[in-house]
Amino acid sequence: MQQPANPVATGTTFDAVYARLHQIAQRERKRLGARATLNTTALVHEAYLDLCKNTEPESIRNFYGYAARAMRNLLIDAARQRLAAKRGGQAHHTDLDAAARQASEHDAVQAIELDAALRELAAAEPRCAQVVELHYFAGLALEEVAKVLALSLRTTNRDWQFARAWLRHELTP
């Protein structure tokens, strides 16, 4: 029996979502302050290859949720590598001034802290974490998130407000 084609790997699906993935990657890089890590196109391509290799999405929630998670994980890994290089790695950067280097290191720390807080939220309130992934990271409007998760808009708004407050509490020193 012939295995069905992976819908993500087909040309039509790729053409339909590539621009959206690029938007998600740009937004992720800006939110996580990933100035000195992967560029937007490289991030999209890495996430796409990872997606084709590891999963066959069954719905928009799975696809965009996975894409947002994959991009976040790639950026977090790059941030960890940047911090490891700072703490004794062999990388020596002379093209950045001290202020830019300090800002980049601060962004990497914030990205890692955000990732840890999101993992804690997912363990405590999985539905709220899904709302965050789809709204914040995949860029879906709350109305779209409600449809994808089969929730009322009111419940989705309540979950979004809870998640924002929870993350703010977790990330505030």
Sign of CA dihedral 92, 93, 99, 101: negative
Higher pLDDT, 38 or 122: 122
For a pLDDT cut of 70, what percent of the chain falls above it?
A: 65
| 145 CB-near residues (< 8 Å, 6+ apart) | 131, 134, 135, 151, 156, 160
* pTM confidence score: 0.53
Q: Write down the domain spans for the chain.
A: 11-171
Residue pLDDT, tens place only, 77-87: 888 787 776 65
Residue pLDDT, tens place only, 100-148: 455 555 577 787 888 889 999 999 999 999 999 888 877 788 998 898 8
pLDDT at 121: 95
**Most confident option among 2-16, 87-101, 136-150:** 136-150
Residue 88 zone, left/alpha/beta (φ > 0; ψ -120 to 50; rest): left
Q: Is the pLDDT of residue 35 over 60?
A: no
pLDDT at 60: 58
Q: Which residue do the tokens 């790059």 mark?
A: 78
At 17, the pLDDT band (50, 70, 90 cuts) reads low
Least confident of 44-48, 59-63, 111-115, 155-159: 59-63
Q: Is the pLDDT of residue 59 over 60?
A: no
pLDDT at 51: 64
For the chain, how long is the longest CA-to-CA vector? Answer: 60
